[in-house]
Homo-oligomer: A and B are copies of this chain.
Amino acid sequence: MLELIEQLKADILNGALPRGCPLRQQELSVRYNVSRIPVRDAIAQLKNQGWLVTHGKAGVMVPELNWREAEDLYQMRMALEVQLLGHALPNLTHEVLGRAKDINLQLNNPCLTLLERGQLNWDLHATLYEVANRPTLFNVVAILNEQVRRYMGFQYGPLNYRDTSQNEHEKLISLIESDQKDQALRYLKGHIEVAGRMLVDYLKNEN
C-alpha cells in the first residue's frame, strides 16, 4: 500500500490526476490494478496529509495550490525546525556534519529537477535533525516537509536559487562546526524564511 501512496503522490505531482474534480475509487482501482480497499486506505492517508481534500459529501479531489497554505507550512517549518536543530546541536558530531556535507555536494548536480532537489534538501535537514532524538517533533517536521513537496511539482523561481540555497547550507554547517549556536539557529530560520517567501511570492503572481 505504501507503494500505491507513492504512485498517487507522483501522479498528483505530475498532473496525471487533475485538480479540482472528484477522483473515483473505482477509476483509481482500475488505473492502479488493485481493488477499492487499498485505494480507500491510500486516500484516507493522503487526505490526512493534505494531498487530497474532500469533494462534497462523497469523494475526494486534488486541491488547488494556495499561497496561504504554503505560507503556513513554511511558518511552521521555521518555528519547529529551529527548535529541532536546537535539540540536535549538542549531538552533532563531525561524522554527522560530514554526512550533511556529502549530501550538499550532490546538490551541485545541475541536472536535478526541483523535486529531486527538494528530496536532497530534506535528506540534508533530516540528517541534522535526527540526532536531536525527538521523534514526536521530528515526525511533525517530516510531515510538513512532505506536504511542501506538493508545491515542488513544477519549476519556479529565479534560476540562481540553486547556488544560493547550497551556499546557505554550507554556511549553516560551518556555523555549527565553529559552535556558534545562536547564529546557526538564526541562520536556519532565515534559510527557511527565504525559501518560503520565494515560493509564496511565486504563487501569488501566478494567480
Contact = CB atoms under 8 A, between A and B. Distances in A.
A136 B80 contact: no
Q: A69, A73, A79, A136 — which one has the most chain B CB atoms within 10 A of its CB?
A: A136
Interface of A: 37, 40-41, 44-45, 48, 50, 68-69, 72-73, 75-76, 79-80, 83, 134-137, 140
Contact of A136 (B45, B69, B140): B69
B68 A134 contact: yes
Number of copies: 2
A42 to B, nearest CB: 10
Contact of A140 (B37, B41, B140): B140
Contact of A72 (B45, B68, B137): B137
A40 B135 CA distance: 24
A79 B73 CA distance: 13
Given A72-B136, A79-B83, 7 more contacts: A41-B41, A68-B134, A68-B136, A69-B136, A72-B134, A72-B135, A73-B136
A109 to B, nearest CB: 32
A134 B70 CA distance: 11
Closest 8 CB pairs of A and B: A72-B136, A79-B79, A72-B137, A69-B136, A48-B48, A72-B134, A75-B83, A76-B140
A82 to B, nearest CB: 9
Contacts of A83: 75-76, 79
Contacts of A79: 79-80, 83
B44 A137 contact: no
12 contacts: A40-B41, A41-B44, A69-B136, A72-B136, A72-B137, A75-B137, A76-B83, A76-B137, A79-B79, A79-B83, A80-B80, A140-B140
